[in-house]
Amino acid sequence: MTTSPQTDPGPLRQSARAKRATRIADAASGGWKVVAAKILGLGVVDAIAIYALFVLVRSESWLVAGLVVFVTLLVNWIYFSRGKLPAKYLAPGLIFLAIFQIFVLLYSGYIAFTNYGTGHNSTKADAVNALLLSSQNRVADSPSYKLTVLEQLGELSFLVTEPDGSVSIGGNERPLEDVSNARVEGGVAVGLDGYTSLGFSDILGKQTQIAAISVPLSDDPNDGMLRTPDGSSAFLYTSSLEYDEAAGTMRDTNSGTVYSDIGTGAFTSDAGQELLPGWKIDVGFDNFIRAFSEDSIRGPLISVTIWTFAFAFLSVFTTFALGLFLAIVFNDKRMKSRKYYRIIMILPYAFPGFLSALVWAGMMNQEFGFINVVLLGGAEVPWLTNEWLAKGSVLFVNLWLGFPYMFLVTTGALQAIPEELTEAATVDGAKPWAIFRFVKLPLLLVSVAPLLISSFAFNFNNFNLIYMLTNGGPRDVSAGVNVGATDILISMVYKVAFVGANRDYGLASAFAIIIFLLVAGISIISFRRTKALEELN
Amino acid sequence: MKVTKRGLWAVGALTVTASLVLTGCTAASDDADNAAGTGEALTVWVDADRAAVLKDAAADFTAETGVEVKLVQKEFGDIRDQFVAQVPTGKGPDVVIGAHDWLGTFVTNGVVAPVELGDKADDFQAVGVTAMSYEGQVYGVPYSIENIALVRNTALAPSTPATFDEMVTMGEAAGTEYPFLVGLDPEAADPYHLYPFQTSFGAPVFGTDADGSYDSDALEIGNAGGDEFAAWLAEQGAAGVLNTNITGDLAKEKFVAGEAPFYLTGPWNVPAAVEAGIDVAIDPIPSAGGEDAQPFVGVQGFFVSAKSENALAANEFIVNYMGSEEVQTALFEVGGRAPALTASFDAASADPIVAGFGTVGENAVPMPSIPAMGAVWEFWGVTEAAIINGGDPASLWQKMSGDIQTAIAG
């Protein structure tokens, strides 16, 4: 074929060539600099990934290692293949989303099905180790022995000088034997022929090994073992617990009680006594069942849930009502200096919420607070310590914090409603209230309803305000549980998880899941309703 | 064709870059291995206040032993939870600074290793070692001891009161706005500050075992003395001597302004008063119920992680180094907290304020560190606040005692 492309551009061929041209242009568009940057970037990513793999494989975290391999391969494939433009833009964001959001969500979800909390925060091996460590008691009134660590053919021995000056040597499970030919300096045996004495830096290199050595004092194990905490002195210990690895039981050598693993995450005796620390186990739906069945939890859970709904609903309602009222007032063209008023109205919105709450807590002090002293002339109104006044105060402060947002939102929405509608309604003889009620409000709600729903969800979990203003108080001293009158679900979860000596992360996570289901449920229903509202219009 | 070439180039370049970066990484990780293996790095968690002085001490330790000490600064209040969470992962520190009443949590979670003080135990003040013990086993090296005492404004009250009532009388005679100040929370009063008065009625929280450690089964708070104390709280609340609206900040502010002759507080609030030009004297806490008024003592010290791979170096560091007179004295000079080592304490006692608090501390008891104490805190303060604010003392106090019992058993 000798026809040149210029003279014979068949429609089909042209499109094929156009495609090819685009492809070449695509590939060439960045030039070599972009390619180099791409390679360098991916090189760094891959290098970090491979380093991470080394660490993960060595610590035997196979699942995470597998994920790292998968993600790294995926990233390389995405950026080295042609096209896949959306994936190229989305990949980093999605990966970070997975790490920082989805993983965290799944992990706290997983915690809800475990007994993670005080006394159950690690593995069984750690628990065994910790129990054995803490059961070693120094023999009462036993002397401290001066110690030199010796090495012979890779085997470590303790050269011990007793307080009376006699010298003996022993090793792990080799009882002490007297020696007479030791080199003694300043009353302490420092060396023995045929052995190398270890200096402090040599000892540091073998710390784990040396710390694990226990030298029996004699053939009778009840006499105790010599162990060293620092490599230069040794003490005589006896252990009150014995671990039977085959049976998986702990035996108290003093009382003879056997503690066995009965599946509750702690060694338990037949009499039901638990040895702590225990370890983390999966408990299935236990935490959820506890939330609804245990009287001490269910009671407060119900009252707190009711108050949470009341608080969230009333907060949204009051802030919206006030915001809307002010928006209408300041939207009226007859009002002078509207701009300045608007700026003042926005001010509460400009302060950080938790700071405002703290300041309000100070102003509401019964005896020294600004409100009682200055505004009420010395009246001692217990704003934060009476159950109902505290609830009112929380709502009031939240109103103060929240109305500027509603004011902003409704001002915008009101200005978007065409003037003609109002004029038309006026011509038809409608009164201002009727215009507002039947024309403006429905139009307003269409655009504002989703914001009201999100505001509801926000207030449902408005931890800052409750924590800083009342910390959930006042507490009902006769209730017998650590829950106060203004506690909402999230602050109650906080108290379960982080307040007091006994943390229960499992139960707190279960609560968090319940809260999530509540908020999600309400949001879904409300959004459905909003759609119906839109269709009406 | 072009595409393939470019692809090859890309793969080649990638290999080169990756291997370059990797060589760096492997080299680095080898170093890290060595460090772990020979114990050349000890990780210590410390709060900002103590970090400065520990920095010098750590440098000396490194010079002497060749062990590098990495100081990681943490918020003091966060250390407990982070330590409990991180030790099991194997990424926690080797040594942490902490308060003795965290010990129960640490032991129950299996995150601390016992420490053998050996003969050095006698060099520390006895209450410090007792506080660092849990069920007869010592877990930490104490470095400072703190307790509250009665701080007196000598210009307003010339002499030491013998009893609480005498103090109130003297306070009223001084003609200031308040006879006596103690910071209380409107919600939760302050059991820590009110505890000496409670003990003066013979109502400690827990009884003690034969070896002197607290016994969670022997709850003493609800005994007859406890009832008397509750009645006393109601009385003082009604009389306005105890006022839950005077928070810790307000109490400090008013004492510094010279509005009260007596202030029940710890050494941490004294510098502000001294700076304001008030001449203070440190007095024993006056008894309200006839028996000795024993405040709680809080001991701070160093703990070793149960999973430390540098156990020997860590022990060497905290027992033989942090426990030395030089370091304890240096820590005192920076933080102003009374040292736990007797020799350092004696040196520090040249300061009458330190000596004053120390004298009161001789009569003090360690705050219980057993986990059951958590249940006590949960109910204690709110009940006290309710009684001070006019609740029925007898029934509320017994209700509290019952609730605590249930929570401990539960």
Cis bond leading into B393, ω under 30°?
Answer: no
Q: Which two tokens stand for residue A176?
A: 């002490």
State pLDDT tens for residues A84-114: 888 888 888 888 888 888 888 898 899 999 9
Cis bond leading into A474, ω under 30°?
Answer: yes
Q: Which two tokens stand for residue A98?
A: 């997975």
State pLDDT tens for residues A457-505: 899 989 999 988 888 878 877 766 778 889 999 998 888 777 766 788 8
One-letter amino acid for residue B110 of the chain? G
Best-predicted range by mean pLDDT among A311-325, B35-49, B176-190? A311-325
Closest by CA to A303, choosing from A467, A465, A487, is A487
Residue A52, pLDDT score = 92
Flag whether residue A7 sits within 8 Å of chain B, measured between CB atoms: no
State pLDDT tens for residues A301-346: 888 999 999 999 999 999 999 999 998 888 877 888 888 888 888 8
Residue in chain A closest to B17 (alpha carbons) equals A43
Nearest to B114 among A55, A127, A133 (CB): A133
Count of positions (residues) in chain B: 410
> Could you tell me if A280 and A116 are in contact, meaning their C-beta atoms sit under 8 angstroms apart?
yes
Interface of B with A in 89-128 (CB under 8 A): 90, 104-105, 107-111, 113-116, 118-119
Q: What's the whole-number average pLDDT of chain A?
A: 84
CB atoms within 10 A of CB A432: 12
In chain B, residues with a C-beta closer than 8 Å to the C-beta of A137 are 136-137
Residue A207, pLDDT score = 82
d(CA A519, CA A490): 12
Comparing A144-158, B98-112, B184-198, B353-367, which segment has the lowest mean pLDDT? A144-158
One-letter amino acid for residue A145 of the chain? Y
Nearest to A40 among B17, B84, B250 (CB): B17
Strands B68-74 and B41-47: parallel
Q: Which helix (DSSP H) or strand (DSSP E) does residue B76 occupy?
A: helix B76-86
Task: Supply the Cα-derived Rg of chain A in whole angstroms.
Answer: 37
> Could you tell me if B206 and B215 are in contact, meaning their C-beta atoms sit under 8 angstroms apart?
yes
**A44·B306 Cβ contact <8 A:** no
State pLDDT tens for residues B60-116: 888 888 888 999 999 888 898 889 888 988 888 999 999 998 998 899 888 999 998
State pLDDT tens for residues A199-229: 877 888 888 888 888 888 887 777 788 888 8
Sign of torsion over alpha carbons A460, A464, A465, A468: positive
Average pLDDT over residues A393-405: 93
Query: Minimal Cα–Cα distance from A480 to chain B, Å?
Result: 6
Interface of A with B in 204-243 (CB under 8 A): 204-205, 207-208, 210-211, 228-233, 235
Per the rule left: phi > 0, alpha: psi between -120 and 50, beta: everything else, A480 is left
d(CA B140, CA B123): 14
* Confidence category of residue B14, pLDDT binned at 50, 70, 90: very low
> Does ipTM come in above 0.90?
no
Q: For chains A and B, what is the number of CB pairs under 8 angstroms?
A: 193
> Could you tell me if A142 and A225 are in contact, meaning their C-beta atoms sit under 8 angstroms apart?
no
State pLDDT tens for residues A46-64: 999 999 999 888 877 888 8
Task: Answer yes or no: is pLDDT of A23 > 80.
Answer: no
* Confidence category of residue B25, pLDDT binned at 50, 70, 90: very low
Flag whether residue A121 sits within 8 Å of chain B, measured between CB atoms: yes
Flag whether residue B259 sits within 8 Å of chain A, measured between CB atoms: no
For A240, the 3-state DSSP assignment is coil
Flag whether residue A21 sits within 8 Å of chain B, measured between CB atoms: no
**B6·A35 Cβ contact <8 A:** yes
d(CA A295, CA A301): 10
Catalogue the E-assigned strands of A127-256: 136-138, 145-152, 155-161, 167-171, 174-178, 183-185, 188-191, 196-197, 215-216, 225-227, 233-239, 241-244, 249-252
Query: Minimal Cα–Cα distance from A343 to chain B, Å?
Result: 34
CB atoms within 10 A of CB A102: 11
Residue B31, pLDDT score = 36
Interface of A with B in 467-486 (CB under 8 A): 470-471, 473-475, 477-478, 480, 482, 484
Residue B30, pLDDT score = 35
Q: What percent of chain A has pLDDT over 90?
A: 15
* Confidence category of residue A380, pLDDT binned at 50, 70, 90: confident
**B375·A500 Cβ contact <8 A:** yes
Residue B206, pLDDT score = 92
Nearest to B306 among A50, A129, A233 (CB): A129
**B109·A385 Cβ contact <8 A:** no
> Could you tell me if B394 and B229 are in contact, meaning their C-beta atoms sit under 8 angstroms apart?
no
Task: Answer yes or no: is pLDDT of B28 > 70.
Answer: no
Q: What is the 3-state secondary structure (H, E, C) of B268-317?
A: HHHHHHHHCCCCEEEECCCECCCCCCCCEEEEEEEEEECCCCCHHHHHHH
Closest by CA to A503, choosing from A116, A102, A42, A100, is A116
Task: Answer yes or no: is pLDDT of A527 > 50.
Answer: yes
